[in-house]
Amino acid sequence: MAQSESTIQVPNTWYDDVLFKPLYLEFYEHSDFANFGLWDEATTGPRQACENLVNRLQSLLRDQRGTILDVACGKGETTRCLLANYAPEAITAINISERQVEHGRTLVPGAVFRCMDAVNMDFADESFDNIICVEAAFHFDTREKFLREALRVLKPGGTLALSDILMTLEGERARPYRTEANYLPGIEAYRALIEGAGFTNVRIEDVTEQSWFPFFRYTVNFLHEKFLRRQIDEPTLKRHLGTNYGHVPDLEHYLIVSAQKPSTQSTN
Ligand X SMILES: C[S@@+](CC[C@H](N)C(=O)[O-])C[C@H]1O[C@@H](n2cnc3c(N)ncnc32)[C@H](O)[C@@H]1O
Residues lying near ligand X in the complex (CB under 6 A) are found at: 8, 11-12, 15, 33-35, 72-74, 77-78, 95-97, 100, 117-119, 134-136, 139-140
For ligand X, which is the closer residue by CB, 139 or 152?
139
For ligand X, which is the closer residue by CB, 17 or 225?
17
For ligand X, which is the closer residue by CB, 59 or 231?
59
Q: Minimal distance in Å, beta carbon 268 to ligand X?
A: 24
Which of these, 192, 163, 191, lies nearest to 251 by C-alpha position? 163
In a 3-state reduction of DSSP, which class is residue 8? helix
Q: Which residue number is nearest to ligand X in terms of Cβ?
A: 74
For ligand X, which is the closer residue by CB, 96 or 223?
96
For ligand X, which is the closer residue by CB, 14 or 245?
14
Give the Cα separation of 170 and 158 in Å (integer).
35
Q: Minimal distance in Å, beta carbon 54 to ligand X?
A: 8
Give the Cα separation of 156 and 129 in Å (integer).
8
Q: Which residues of 116-132 are buried (b: 16+ CB within 10 A; e: fewer)?
A: bbbbebeeeeebbbbbb
Q: Minimal distance in Å, beta carbon 233 to ligand X?
A: 26
Q: Minimal distance in Å, beta carbon 117 to ligand X?
A: 5
DSSP code, position 57:
H
Residue 157 backbone class (left: φ over 0; alpha: ψ -120 to 50; beta: rest) = left
For ligand X, which is the closer residue by CB, 34 or 184?
34
Q: Minimal distance in Å, beta carbon 221 to ligand X?
A: 21
Q: Minimal distance in Å, beta carbon 163 to ligand X?
A: 8
Which of these, 132, 144, 97, lies nearest to 117 by C-alpha position? 97
For ligand X, which is the closer residue by CB, 136 or 207?
136
Distances (CA, A) of 98 to 15, 103, 108: 11, 9, 15
Residue 13 backbone class (left: φ over 0; alpha: ψ -120 to 50; beta: rest) = alpha
- β-pair type (200-206, 112-115): unpaired
Q: Minimal distance in Å, beta carbon 32 to ligand X?
A: 7
Residue 151 · residue 261 · CB < 8 Å = yes
